[in-house]
């Protein structure tokens, strides 16, 4: 079975160079809509109207997008006569609406961050993208991020899903069992706003309605590098690009 050894060696290093270098291989991110100025108020109104998750708000000729609500259905890209502008990239991590300042983990944790992942009613996409971070193309270990199975040793609670009622208890217990230096990161639109599921008798409208959230990674699902960017922000190794302006789009 030594061929596996050679097979692995022959393939060479395939990991992304991000965050040291920019990464723009095609297909790493679906992109997302961005605030767009249209030439008429009517076009802006149409954009707001087509959005099934009320993520687009129109003000005159301008539209604002709340990415925490956007479910990446791409109707505003493909089904409008004049589409919204679309931004590539993946550095999307932001603060929750009730925070104005970023508090990353203490610097002692920066080079070795242990992550506890909880699936709180996720559809499988966000969880799958988190899982991809372990594959050689992303290889988050090289950056000092480790998954842990116990909350006692975890620095970061990474939650996906809108928080289903049946998972509310286990999620809270996990959080309570963590050291108080813990940070909480909500990954994906469902975890931020409830997405297409919340709020109902069975779903909260995101992690923020159950726990204090420190960072949000919008996207449905956010691609692996967006989540990696979030991890780097939590570890204090990347700064939030610019604090997303609390625009009219954020209600």
Partner 1 sequence: MAAHSSPIAGDNTAGLIDLTAAVEERFGSEISRAPVGGGFVLTLALSQPDVLPALCKFLFWEHGCLFGGITTEEHAARWQMHYTFLLLGSGWIDLELSLPLETIVLPSIVAEVHAADWHEREIEDLFGIHFENHPRLGDFVLHDQIWHEGIDPMRKNFSASHPQLERKVDLDWQPLLVVGDPGSFAMPVGPIYEGGVGESLHFLLETVGEDVIRAAPRLFYNYRAVEKIAEGRTVGDALLLSERFAATSAFAHSLAFCLAAERIAAVDVPPRAAALRVLLAELERLRHHAGAIAAICESTALAVPASQAAIIEENLLRASCVFADHRYLFGLNTPGGLNRDFGSEQCNTLLVAVDEAESDLRILEKRLRLSSSFLDRLEDVGVVTGENARDLNLVGPIGRASAQHCDLRKACSYSGYGQLPFDVPCETEGDGYARLRVLFAEATQSAKLIHRVAGRLEEGLVRVSCELHRAGAALGWAEAPRGAALHWLRVDKTGVVERYRAITPSFNNWLGFHVAAENFAFQDFPIILATFGLSATECDR
Residues of the shown chain interacting with partner 1 in the complex, contacts defined by CB under 8 A: 1, 3-5, 7-8, 11, 14, 25-31, 52-53, 71-75, 77-79, 117-125, 127-132, 134-137, 147-149, 161-162, 164-167, 169-170, 174, 195-197, 199-203, 220-221, 223
Does 65 bind ligand SF4 (CB under 6 A)? Our answer is yes
The 10 Å CB-count burial string (b at 16+, else e) for 157-168 is bbbbbbbbeebb
Q: Which of 50, 137, 147, 177 binds ligand SF4 (CB under 6 A)?
A: 50
Q: What is the number of other CB atoms lying within 10 angstroms of the CB of residue 217?
A: 32
Q: How far is the CB of 120 from partner 1 (least distance, A)?
A: 7
Q: How far is the CB of 103 from ligand SF4 (least distance, A)?
A: 29
Dist CA 251 CA 248 (whole Å) = 7
Our CB check for partner 1 shows the closer of 110 and 147 to be: 147
Binding mask 13-42 for ligand SF4 (x = CB under 6 A): --------------------x---------
Does 57 bind ligand SF4 (CB under 6 A)? Our answer is no
Does 55 bind ligand SF4 (CB under 6 A)? Our answer is yes
* Short-list 182, 213, 236, CA closest to 98: 213
Stretch that binds ligand SF4, among 18-26, 73-81, 166-174, 205-213 (CB under 6 A): 73-81
Q: How far is the CB of 86 from partner 1 (least distance, A)?
A: 9
Yes or no: say if 133 and 227 are a contact pair by the CB < 8 Å rule.
yes
What token pair was written down for 95?
A: 């603060």
Our CB check for ligand SF4 shows the closer of 16 and 72 to be: 72
Our CB check for partner 1 shows the closer of 96 and 121 to be: 121
């Amino acid at each position: 079975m030594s061929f596996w050894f050679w097979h692995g060696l022959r393939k060479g290093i395939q990991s992304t160079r991000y965050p040291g270098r920019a990464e723009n291989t095609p297909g790493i991110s679906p992109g997302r809509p961005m605030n767009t100025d249209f030439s008429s108020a009517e076009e802006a109104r149409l954009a707001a109207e087509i959005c099934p998750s009320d993520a687009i708000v129109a003000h005159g000729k301008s539209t604002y997008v709340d990415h925490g609500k956007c479910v990446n259905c791409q109707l505003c890209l493909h089904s409008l006569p004049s589409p919204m502008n679309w931004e590539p990239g993946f550095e999307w991590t932001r603060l929750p609406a009730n925070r104005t300042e970023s508090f990353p983990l203490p610097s002692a944790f920066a080079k070795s961050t242990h992550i506890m992942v909880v699936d709180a009613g996720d559809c499988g996409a966000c969880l799958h993208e988190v899982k991809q971070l372990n594959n050689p193309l992303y290889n988050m270990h090289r950056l000092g991020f480790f998954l842990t199975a116990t909350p006692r040793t975890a620095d970061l609670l990474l939650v996906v899903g809108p928080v289903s009622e049946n998972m509310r208890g286990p999620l809270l217990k996990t959080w309570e069992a963590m050291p108080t230096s813990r940070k909480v990161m909500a990954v994906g639109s469902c975890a931020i706003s409830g997405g297409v599921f919340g709020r109902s008798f069975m779903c909260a409208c995101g992690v923020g309605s159950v726990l204090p959230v420190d960072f949000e990674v919008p996207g449905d699902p956010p691609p692996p590098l967006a989540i990696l960017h979030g991890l780097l922000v939590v570890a204090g190794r990347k700064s939030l690009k610019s604090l997303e302006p609390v625009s009219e789009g954020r209600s």
